[in-house]
Amino acid sequence: MNRKRKRTSRLKRMLYSIGQPGLRLFHFLVISCPLNISTSLSEKLGRVSYYFVSKYRNRAMRNLQRAFGHTKSRKERKRICRDIAKNAFKDIVEVFYSTGPDQSRIVDRISISGEENLKGALSRGRGVIAVSAHLGNFSLLGFGLVCRGYPVHVVIRPVREQAIEKILHEYRKKQGTSFIFTKPPQECVKKMLRALRNNEVICLLVDQAKKHGSVFADFFGRPAATTTTPALLSLRTGAPVVPIFIVREEDDTHHIFIEPAIEIELTDDHDENIFRITAEINRVIQSYVERYPDQWSYWTARRWKYQPEDVKQSAKNQGTSG
């Protein structure tokens, strides 16, 4: 077992060492080519990659079946999976291009609607908690808002490999978007609270399965462990929660939709308020995924990984072992 782990560790180190110069080379090639050529080539790569990622393709097919049942045929579900793979490579090219000298080409591709909702939320003076999902080219969401003059901080999880993270940090600085890292957690909370006090926007992707710090809220008819961070921050600071999404149009332009701030009737029960806000966030996200199923890349993820019975069993085991 130890020998196997050592071999795996050496393999990872080798891949990362190859990945660093490879990442820089790929970035250079992308920003050196005309955007339409890079986009066209990336789309072809995405179409080919579809046939080499059977693990994620099969998971996406199962998730689509569970979510839509017989309302979408197998042929439709396969098309959605192909589009996800195709768009994934285009997403990368566009993000790289947004860090290059000709980033205005990407800015010109992004339109926005519902700005009155964001401006109205900011007018309250308590900052804004923007919630979004892995929909469309979500990595351009913060960039698109910053380019419109909004003070946005995107909350992200850092890459484990420090050398790769260092390169990505360079590219993020060139893009001009501000980021708050989830680790260390205490520092992350401090920075989010500071941003809200300064009447700025923090943007969180909240469609990931989360075992701790979550509640089970409905998502496509099944309980989904969903982070309570937006609800907790909102209840603590009074900052409104505003759903914001970006979607890809057929001509490869992008459109940002800013929804009205989430409004729920608060009760005297703190836990109930947290659940209601979180459930409403999931409801809005689901409505967008239903409209753009081929743009939600998390069909390939284990969104329903944790279920109530699993968490109860885990807590029971911990109690027994203690």
Which domains are present in the chain? Answer: 106-316 (3.40.1130)
Average pLDDT, integer, range 200-210: 97
Q: What was the pLDDT predicted at 13? A: 57
Average pLDDT, integer, range 90-112: 94
Write the DSSP assignment of 97-137 as a string of letters. Answer: HTTSTTTHHHHTTEEEE-HHHHHHHHTTSS-EEEEE-SBSS
Structural contact between residues 224 and 82, judged by C-beta atoms closer than 8 angstroms: no
Under 8 Å CB-to-CB from 222, ≥6 apart: which residues? 66, 304
What mean pLDDT value characterizes the chain? Answer: 91
Structural contact between residues 305 and 209, judged by C-beta atoms closer than 8 angstroms: yes
Residue 245 token pair: 């999404």
Q: What was the pLDDT predicted at 12? A: 53
Average pLDDT, integer, range 239-263: 97
Average pLDDT, integer, range 24-51: 91
What are φ and ψ of residue 130, in 5° steps?
-85, 130
Q: How confident is the model at residue 4 (pLDDT cuts 50, 70, 90)?
A: very low
Average pLDDT, integer, range 60-89: 96
Q: How confident is the model at residue 311 (pLDDT cuts 50, 70, 90)?
A: low
| Range of lowest pLDDT (10-24, 85-99, 217-231) | 10-24
